[in-house]
Structure 1
Amino acid sequence: MTPSTADQAPHAQMSVEEFEQLARTAPETVTLEFINGKLEVKPVPDGDHDEIIMWVAMQCMQQQPELRLYRERGLRIGGYRNGRARPDGTLARAGRFAGDGEWSSPERVLMTVEVTSHDHDTEARDRSEKRDGYAAASIPVYLLIDRDHDCLVVYSEPERGRYRQQHSYDYGDSVTLPAPVSITLDTEELKEYAR
């Protein structure tokens, strides 16, 4: 099967179809993503990373019980959906992904969440490539929990492949996530995971 140009990013390492075949056959211990035409290996999370994701999930469920924070849900992102990402968290209404296969449309996703890993690719991957892919997919809110700088960055109002709004908050601040999320995070607990 010849890949279509819509499935291929400029200078892509492979087509989306080739990536999906590779991802299906990868060992369970490896999580692969396809961002801006580039194959990415997602780092294995450490304990603090897991605690932070659970912290976000608990705050979301306490304030909006009809929402769920899905871990590493496969999403089609980027221009013409030519990327594949597994956000650390994907916030959507309960039941949103019922019946979906491995890769879901970003429609009706309210927010994606990434927690930075302590590796050399975090700058490009979490702070720019994934951010831009989520904006291109029109995901209303992107929450980046940046462990290198002990802060949260909230991106919102996607338009033409970019987020128009960006606000940074220190650990300990009260952070109100914009609509359609409309949840206020008490970030004091994040200080426990600062290293």
Structure 2
Amino acid sequence: MIAVRHSDSSLSELLHAFDVPDSLRAEILGGVIVMSPLMRGRHALTVDQVRRQLQAACPADHRPIGGIRYRCPATGDEPIPDLTVVPDKALDADLRFHSMDIVELVVEVGSESSIRNDREPKRLLYASEGVPLYLLVDPLLALVTLYTDPQHGDYLAHHTVTYGDPITIPEPFGLRLETAEFPAKPHRGRLRLS
């Protein structure tokens, strides 16, 4: 992961002036440009497994989709979640940025380079933006956590299961998400939870 700080309010302009290699995902999180590798094998497989299960449970006019850049005007953040569930009509516009107020659920699959951001800065960002559900899949610890009830800048409730146990995604999905086939990736070296 590469991080760049810039004190000017034009952080978004700076990011979009970069010639970011196709192999990297560049986001703005907490006033920092964060670049991390695009999905690789196990990561992409897990995202696809979650996407397929969500697709089957989505309301008829919604879909799980990845690669969308969101802009959060209050913070200037520009996350690109692994997956979001959004209404089809929100995708009709060919926008450079979307607002997080269209998002019903965010999914992040952690990796060694992203898990710290997924656990805290992104969790707090998504809660602050009022995203009702945040699903964090952590292959390093083989855990899946669903955060719910966003209030006062954080999620007030969460439920965690280990890989192999299902986790319930509430309405409008009503999904029992199966995790048994998620590929775990043991962490090399010391793992810090914060």
TM-score higher than 0.5:
yes
Are 1:23 and 1:32, in contact at CA under 8 Å, matched by a contact in 2?
no
Query: TM-score under structure 2 normalisation?
Result: 0.83
Q: Partner residue of 1:62?
A: 56
Q: 2:184 & 2:169 partners in 1: Cα distance? A: 22
- How many positions carry a matched residue from both structures? 179
- Supply the AA of the counterpart residue of 2:181: E
TM-superposed deviation, 1:22: 2.3
More helix by proportion, 1 or 2?
1
Q: 1:65 & 1:180 partners in 2: Cα distance? A: 7
Q: Partner residue of 1:194?
A: 184
Query: TM-score under structure 1 normalisation?
Result: 0.83
Q: Partner residue of 1:26?
A: 19
Q: 1:45 & 1:103 partners in 2: Cα distance? A: 21
Q: 2:84 & 2:139 partners in 1: Cα distance? A: 19
TM-superposed deviation, 1:65: 5.8
Partner of 1:189, secondary structure, is coil
Are 2:66 and 2:81, in contact at CA under 8 Å, matched by a contact in 1?
yes
Moved more, 95-104 or 142-151: 95-104
Q: Partner residue of 1:35?
A: 29
Q: Partner residue of 2:93?
A: 99
Partner of 1:107, secondary structure, is helix
Show structure 1 runs of 5+ residues with no match.
Answer: 1-11
1:28-86 CA-to-partner distances (Å, cap 9, x unmatched) read 33321111111111222211111111111110112226231111211123x71421100
Q: Partner residue of 1:5?
A: none
- Percent identity between the aligned chains? 27
The equivalent position to 1:129 in structure 2, one of 103, 106, 121, is 121
Q: Partner residue of 2:155?
A: 163
